[in-house]
Structure 1
Amino acid sequence: MKKIVKLMLSVMMIASMAACSSAPKNDQGGEGKFKAGTYTGTAQGNNGDVTVEVTLSADKIEKVEVTEHKESAGISDAAIADIPASIVESQSLNVDTVSGATHTSDAILDAVKAALTEAGADVEALMSGEGAAKTTVTLEDKTYDVVVLGAGGAGLSAAIEAQAAGANVVVIEKMPYVGGNTILSYAELACPNNWLQEEQGIEDSPELMAKEMWEGGGKVAKKEMVDIVANNATAAAEWLRDEIGVKYQDYLVWEGGHSVARAVEPIDLGPGMINPLKEYAEGHGVEIMLNTKAEELIQDETGKVVGVKVSQGDQTATISANRSVVLATGGFGANVEMREHYNTRWETLDESVKTTNSPAIVGDGIVMAEKIGANLINMEHIQLYPFNNPITGVFYGIEAPSWSGEGLIYVNKDGKRFVNEVAMRDVRAEGILAQGGLVYAIYNQEVADRLNLEEKFADEYARCLEDGVFFKADTLEEVAEHYGINAENLVETMDKYNEGIENNTDEFGRTTSMVTMKEGPWFILEGVVSVHHTMGGVEINENAEVLDTEGSVMPGLFAAGEVTGSVHGNNRVGTCAIADITVFGRIAGRNAAAAE
């Protein structure tokens, strides 16, 4: 059965798969299945065109190579390597797509089809041919000091710290690539008194960050855990920068819920954090097992967690841990049944509500831990990201003014504002849902230019324009007409917004991102809410030890990241997740290595 699991890839996503091809180079002529030569084909990927070269002899596909692409590093690597190899091996287009990279896989296949069509090949016959035989790698029982489940930001941080403490470490990852949700994120990390704040003279403190996390989460998180994140976030960011090699932008990100700009952002966003973590981990002796699913936690006769049962296809094995196991498997945002079961706040979180998450984020670590007695807390608290592409469910890069400290307003079909656009995410989500679920974001050329959006997100603008979820025009009346918005009200709304900014009396209480927008051209986006983060999970203490339903430590079991439920309360403040996963990932790794 073909793997057709769909991934909500990265921050700038998904378009139709139109393909084109070019004439062959070095045509050799002759008779056979193909017109010999090298052919080029192109198809739309996630972040732009994917171009392949296909080299043919008269009777054989000799070589397939992806020569150009803009796919997300890390996520796309397996597809770019495996799909061409499988085509050549099987002499067929009937090959499996790569789980978690379906759209990249499809783009490669469509580009190859275009090239083969130019070569006069019978593409339909190649599609129905026998696929490549699967390479079988024997899965064996093994033993390590520390076993980490999940290769996202939390898991890789834990693995690196455990290895640095002298442990022999393996990371188990069910997907064909590392990264989890972290690689799909912007990887912005809130950290008080950071190097950019110091350069810009911004006053901040761990106490202020902790206060805003605590209050933003409804004061239902474990306060001591919030304090640990705030007190260690800057050290975590400096560790990523100085030890791991993550390169950061020279500007700060200012998300809703923060009273000051305090988040740093990797130059290459999520991949810019994950890829250095992976390289560092493997370079220092951490083993990473991909395509390997954790099935069940194993306890000894005393109740200590001593390993995990894993599977690869129809093979199973036991991976034993001499010291401990670290859970870093993420939340359950991509599990519709699970989020519907726990949801008590939103009208529905069924399949009609898309998610920004990786398809891997289905709560399997939470389920495994609960089966052996772990306590679950805050499971009912599920965060919606307020404004996302209606087609993909993924947040826009081109909606950057909402979190950059620049201007942007949301309006409904009537052309009226309805919420503070830089309020907490849950407040904005509630406001959008109250308008019927589909709303519009508007900003002008001046804002786009200050953020260099048209250069940075050129491909996303082009795809979104083609898909009909973005439009640009010289006047507000034109953008209103395009989407059937009340134009008179929209002009009045923008005038009122600008007046409020100038008088510091915004009607919705906006006190940050106080930027006027008076001249066109105007940019407008359609947006809907999507499930973004699940605040609930296993309960941990300040040592990242998992607690059971009696409040006692479960020996041999640690956890970090979105699989835990102790840090964010009922609402996660933006840019605090990366702080959390890095801080507690490091704590979990160090303590897991020290466990008896």
Structure 2
Amino acid sequence: MQTSRRSFLGRAAAGLGLAGSGSLLAPTARANESTAPAFDAVYDIIVVGSGISGTMAALVAARSGAKTLLIEKLNRLGGTSRYSALDFSCVGSDRQKAEGIEDTPEAMVDDMAKVAGGLADRERALNVARNTARAQKVMAEHGVKWKNLLKLGGHSAKRCLIAEGGGAGILRSLWASFERYPNLTVMPSTKLDELILDETGVTGVVVRTHYLFDASLPNDDRDNRSGAVKRFGARQGVIMATGGYARDKEFMKDEVPYLEHTSNSCSEGATAGALKSMIRAGARPVQLGLYRFSFALPTEDFIWGVAIDAKTGKRYCAESLGRNAIALASMRVRQSSGKMPFIVYDDAALELFHNLGRAAKSLAGLNGRNGTMYKFDTLEALARHFETDPKALRATIDAYNADIAAGRDSAFGKDLERSGRKVRPIGKTGPFYGIPMTARWDYCPGGILTDTEARALKLSDGTPLPGLWVVGEAAGGIHGAERLTACSMPDCSVTGMLAAESAVNSAKKSL
């Protein structure tokens, strides 16, 4: 189904509340198969996926004059970007210049490396950081406005742009710009099944239009056969902006321990079908065993509280650890005890939060059942709510307070200072606050290995696979073990932009 830009914009606004297929070893479609029909339509560039990376790729390609097709398997655009704040770490932004802030791409990548566990690709990360100001300019030219510039956790400089309207505001502005480009076709409810290859490389896609995604199926990529099969040709290339695979528990069950104890903040369409199609086409996967977790509260603010095993009433980790370490510890506790662990704060601790807005959102019940922070007048009332022994909890808090007063953490050795602020003992009188320690799987660091132009690299020899670009979360290896706060947006927006620029400069094939 081809959707007019005007019709699409109405549905996109409404969707925001405002107005693979088969086994991994299945064969890839070949352009010279005797049974293959001619292409149903031919474009210069086909973009698969409509989150921020796909949207940027489609806009940049269309702006260049390329006949561009943007497809999305769900019946609405946006993917996981729809649910993201899309805070944007940007070096050399207009706001930085206006405030006289000195910053460099190297400094940003150094910050990213501190949480990467030695697994990040520094060259590609630097390429992203060096192009963030250019990506910001493209977004500004398409109506995106920024309201704040912040220094967020883990960053050595004030470089994180906050958009008006958050992530939804960014997408609304960019989608509204689709009206400018009559050479851009947008097709929701269109699922990629396979990439089409010939001896020159990737030449198109096999898709199903009128596709009805079904989250109730054990494996939508394998079990859902809805829609009409079409073959679309791409003279200059296919840009895969298909995101991660964090919803595909069947695919990841052997990689992520305790997966059944996680929730998920990704789009329901975040499955592994597109990744499998790229691997079948000969692209090289990288770091598929890595994962990134988050919580309803910023992990940076766990340091001010006390993480408790509900079964024993005792602490179970250093609250200053990184997000993945805390997530895995929380999942282990939940699996062994059968109870949800939780973290305790008092008013003084909340005052130390770098993002008190997230706490306010949780207190208002806006983060879901397992993301709600509860307020209690007494520690005993908190203990009853989380089904733990009040005496054991009180003893744990007393021992913790004695340690903090002595300037140490004898149990787990957690850091007692962050960003110039010192950890304080938990008060003896209320109010007290508690929130479940439910890890959310929110990002897949692994994906397809690419070069600095976002070209997919071959599994066979590491050279570029002609006709295929991979951007955003669909590409792997840039961030390493963990992705720093506010660094998804620069990755997605910059690689989408760079892929489109590279594709439009490639030679056109005769299809």
TM over 0.5: yes
323, 338, 341: which one aligns with 1:439: 341
Aligned equivalents of 2:358, 2:442: Cα separation in 1? 26
Report the CA distance shift for 1:452/1:215 in structure 2 as closer, same or farther (over 3 A): closer
- The secondary structure found in structure 2 opposite 1:546 is strand
Partner of residue 127, structure 1:
none
Aligned equivalents of 1:495, 1:75: Cα separation in 2? 54
Aligned equivalents of 2:414, 2:149: Cα separation in 1? 29
1:295 shift after superposition: 0.9
- Would the aligned equivalents of 1:541 and 1:547 in 2 still touch at CA under 8 Å? yes
- Would the aligned equivalents of 1:420 and 1:510 in 2 still touch at CA under 8 Å? no
1:339 shift after superposition: 1.2
Report the CA distance shift for 1:244/1:444 in structure 2 as closer, same or farther (over 3 A): farther
Partner of residue 328, structure 1:
241
1:407 shift after superposition: 7.3
Q: In the TM superposition, what are the counterparts of 1:459-474 in structure 2 within 5 Å?
A: 461-462=364-365, 469-474=372-377
Gaps of 5+ in 1: 1-72, 82-139, 388-395
- The secondary structure found in structure 1 opposite 2:418 is coil
323, 326, 341: which one aligns with 1:425: 323
Equivalent residue letter for 1:441: I
Aligned equivalents of 1:294, 1:252: Cα separation in 2? 38
Q: In the TM superposition, what are the counterparts of 1:137-536 in structure 2 within 5 Å?
A: 141-195=40-94, 203-240=102-139, 242-252=140-150, 254-255=152-153, 257-285=154-182, 286-300=184-198, 302-312=199-209, 313-341=226-254, 343=255, 346-349=256-259, 351-385=260-294, 387=295, 396=296, 399-400=297-298, 402-403=299-300, 408-413=304-309, 414=313, 416=315, 418-421=317-320, 423-436=321-334, 438-445=340-347, 447=350, 453=357, 457=361, 461-462=364-365, 469-483=372-386, 484=388, 486-490=393-397, 492-493=399-400, 497=404, 500=407, 507-508=414-415, 510-512=417-419, 514=421, 521-536=431-446
- The secondary structure found in structure 1 opposite 2:186 is strand
Aligned equivalents of 1:322, 1:303: Cα separation in 2? 11
In the comparison of the two structures, how many residue pairs are matched? 440
- Would the aligned equivalents of 1:408 and 1:441 in 2 still touch at CA under 8 Å? no
1:522 shift after superposition: 3.2
- Would the aligned equivalents of 1:183 and 1:273 in 2 still touch at CA under 8 Å? no
1:215 shift after superposition: 4.2
- The secondary structure found in structure 1 opposite 2:483 is coil
Report the CA distance shift for 1:426/1:237 in structure 2 as closer, same or farther (over 3 A): farther
Equivalent residue letter for 1:258: H
1:74 shift after superposition: 4.6
1:259 shift after superposition: 3.9
Partner of residue 447, structure 2:
537
Report the CA distance shift for 1:454/1:564 in structure 2 as closer, same or farther (over 3 A): closer
- Would the aligned equivalents of 2:364 and 2:372 in 1 still touch at CA under 8 Å? no
Aligned equivalents of 2:371, 2:487: Cα separation in 1? 33
Report the CA distance shift for 1:465/1:499 in structure 2 as closer, same or farther (over 3 A): farther
Aligned equivalents of 1:465, 1:564: Cα separation in 2? 30
1:298 shift after superposition: 1.0
Aligned equivalents of 1:238, 1:408: Cα separation in 2? 38
TM-score, scaled relative to structure 1: 0.66
Mean CA deviation greater in 277-286 or 375-384? 277-286
- The secondary structure found in structure 2 opposite 1:419 is coil
Equivalent residue letter for 1:270: G
Partner of residue 10, structure 1:
none
Report the CA distance shift for 1:377/1:284 in structure 2 as closer, same or farther (over 3 A): same
- Would the aligned equivalents of 1:415 and 1:487 in 2 still touch at CA under 8 Å? no
Equivalent residue letter for 1:430: L
Equivalent residue letter for 2:499: A
Aligned equivalents of 1:468, 1:533: Cα separation in 2? 18
State the Cα RMSD in Å. Answer: 3.4
Aligned equivalents of 1:541, 1:556: Cα separation in 2? 13
Partner of residue 27, structure 2:
none
Aligned equivalents of 2:187, 2:168: Cα separation in 1? 19
- Would the aligned equivalents of 2:149 and 2:159 in 1 still touch at CA under 8 Å? no
- Would the aligned equivalents of 2:306 and 2:343 in 1 still touch at CA under 8 Å? yes
1:424 shift after superposition: 3.1
Partner of residue 548, structure 1:
458
Aligned equivalents of 1:230, 1:191: Cα separation in 2? 7
Report the CA distance shift for 1:544/1:498 in structure 2 as closer, same or farther (over 3 A): farther
- The secondary structure found in structure 1 opposite 2:58 is helix
Report the CA distance shift for 1:235/1:336 in structure 2 as closer, same or farther (over 3 A): same
Report the CA distance shift for 1:466/1:426 in structure 2 as closer, same or farther (over 3 A): closer
Partner of residue 592, structure 1:
503
- The secondary structure found in structure 2 opposite 1:216 is coil
- Would the aligned equivalents of 1:537 and 1:564 in 2 still touch at CA under 8 Å? yes
Report the CA distance shift for 1:79/1:232 in structure 2 as closer, same or farther (over 3 A): closer
Aligned equivalents of 1:150, 1:274: Cα separation in 2? 13
Mean CA deviation greater in 432-441 or 184-193? 432-441
Equivalent residue letter for 2:231: T
Aligned equivalents of 1:227, 1:481: Cα separation in 2? 50
Aligned equivalents of 2:101, 2:326: Cα separation in 1? 26
Percent of paired sites with the same residue: 24
1:319 shift after superposition: 1.4
Aligned equivalents of 2:278, 2:205: Cα separation in 1? 11
1:509 shift after superposition: 5.3
Report the CA distance shift for 1:513/1:363 in structure 2 as closer, same or farther (over 3 A): farther
Q: Deviations over 1:364-420 (max 9, x none)?
A: 2211111111111111212222x2xxxxxxxx2xx25x45x7974241133547324
1:456 shift after superposition: 6.4
Q: Deviations over 1:26-81 (max 9, x none)?
A: xxxxxxxxxxxxxxxxxxxxxxxxxxxxxxxxxxxxxxxxxxxxxxx958629999
- The secondary structure found in structure 1 opposite 2:453 is coil
Equivalent residue letter for 1:272: G
558, 561, 574: which one aligns with 2:469: 558
Q: Deviations over 1:213-272 (max 9, x none)?
A: 2342222233210111122224323433x22322334251523x4344532222333212
- Would the aligned equivalents of 1:407 and 1:443 in 2 still touch at CA under 8 Å? no
Q: In the TM superposition, what are the counterparts of 1:54-69 in structure 2 within 5 Å?
A: none
1:591 shift after superposition: 1.0
1:175 shift after superposition: 0.6
Partner of residue 569, structure 1:
480
- The secondary structure found in structure 2 opposite 1:306 is strand
Q: Which has the higher contact order (CA 8 A, sep 6+)?
A: 2
Aligned equivalents of 1:407, 1:198: Cα separation in 2? 33
TM-score, scaled relative to structure 2: 0.76
Aligned equivalents of 1:225, 1:377: Cα separation in 2? 14
Aligned equivalents of 2:448, 2:458: Cα separation in 1? 9
- Would the aligned equivalents of 1:417 and 1:493 in 2 still touch at CA under 8 Å? no
- Would the aligned equivalents of 2:359 and 2:373 in 1 still touch at CA under 8 Å? no
Equivalent residue letter for 1:530: R
